Amino acid sequence: MIRSLREHGPAGLTRGAVYSTRSLFPGCLVSVVVALAATFLSEHYGGPVMLFALLLGIAFNFLSVEGACKPGIDFTSRTVLRFGVALLGVRITVSDAMMLGPAPILLAILGVATTIGVGVFLARSLRFPALFGLLTGGAVGICGASAALAIASVLPKREGARESDVIFTVVVVTTFSTIAMVLYPILLKQSPFSDAQIGIFLGATIHDVAQVVGAGFSISTEAGDAATLTKLLRVAMLVPVVLSISFFVSRGQSEGRVSVPGFLLGFVALVAINSFGLVPPVVATALSDLSRWALVAAIAALGMKTMLGQIVTVGPRALILILLETIWIAALGLAVVWFL
Residues 176-206: tens digit of each pLDDT: 887 888 889 888 888 888 888 899 999 999 9
Whether 73 contacts 301, CB under 8 Å:
yes
pLDDT band at 11 (very low <50, low <70, confident <90, very high): very low
Residue 275 clears pLDDT 50, i.e. is over it: yes
The yes-or-no verdict on residue 152 having pLDDT over 60 is yes
Rounded CA gap, 249 and 290, in Å?
Answer: 30
The total number of structural domains in the chain stands at 1
Task: Decide: 6 and 15 in contact? Cβ < 8 Å.
Answer: yes
40-59 mean pLDDT: 83
> What percentage of the chain reaches a pLDDT higher than 70?
84
Q: Range with the lowest mean pLDDT among 13-22, 120-129, 141-150?
A: 13-22
Alpha-carbon distance of 33 to 31, in angstroms, equals 5
pLDDT (mean) for 212-238: 81
> Which of 36-40, 189-193, 215-219 tops mean pLDDT?
36-40
Beta bridge partners of 18: 4
Determine, yes or no, domain membership for 13: no
Per-residue pLDDT reduced to its tens digit, 280-298: 989 999 998 998 899 889 8
In a domain, 122, yes or no: yes
Average pLDDT along the chain: 80
Residue 10 confidence (pLDDT) above 50: no
- Contact between 235 and 88 under an 8 Å Cβ cutoff? The reply is yes
Q: Does residue 167 lie within any of the structural domains? A: yes
Segment among 27-36, 52-61, 212-221 with least mean pLDDT: 212-221
| Percentage of residues of the chain with pLDDT beyond 90 | 22
Residue 226 pLDDT exceeds 90:
no
Note down the domain range covering 115.
21-338
User: Which band of pLDDT confidence, cut at 50, 70 and 90, is reported for residue 320?
Assistant: very high
**Most distant CA pair in the chain: distance in Å?**
62
| For residue 52, pLDDT beyond 80 | yes
> What pLDDT was estimated at residue 202?
93
Distance CA 247, CA 267 (A): 17
Domain membership flag for residue 276: yes
Whether 216 is covered by a domain: the verdict is yes
Instruction: Please indicate, yes or no, if residue 29 is contained in any of the structural domains.
Output: yes
- Give the pLDDT band of residue 215 (cuts 50, 70, 90): confident
Query: What pLDDT score was predicted for residue 256?
Result: 44
Does the pLDDT at position 94 exceed 80? no
pLDDT for residue 157 is more than 50: yes
Q: Average pLDDT, stretch 318-323?
A: 92
Q: Residue 257: inside a domain, yes or no?
A: yes
What's the pLDDT band for 4 if we cut at 50, 70, 90? very low
Question: Nearest 5°: CA angle at 296, between 293 and 301?
Answer: 125
pLDDT of residue 7: 40
- Report d(CA 171, CA 55) in Å as an integer: 9
Residue 286: the pLDDT is 93
- Give the chain as a 3 state SS string: CEEECCCCCCCCCCCCCEEEHHHHHHHHHHHHHHHHHHHHHHHHHCCCHHHHHHHHHHHCCHHHHCCCCHHHHHHHHHHHHHHHHHHHHHHCCHHHHHCCCHHHHHHHHHHHHHHHHHHHHHHHHCCCCHHHHHHHHHHHHHHCHHHHHHHHCCCCCCCCCHHHHHHHHHHHHHHHHHHHHHHHHHHHCCCCCCHHHHHHHHHHHCCCHHHHHHHHHHHCHHHHHHHHHHHHHHHHCHHHHHHHHHHHHHHHHCCCCCCCCHHHHHHHHHHHHHHCCCCCHHHHHHHHHHHHHHHHHHHHHHHHCCCHHHHHCCCHHHHHHHHHHHHHHHHHHHHHHHCC
pLDDT at res. 30: 94
> Nearest 5 degrees, angle CA 193-CA 197-CA 201?
110
Most confident by average pLDDT, 4-8, 114-118, 231-235: 114-118
The more confidently predicted of residues 118 and 147 is 118
Instruction: For residues 81 and 89, give the distance between their C-alpha atoms in angstroms, rounded to a whole number.
Output: 14
Residue 7 inside a domain? The answer is: no
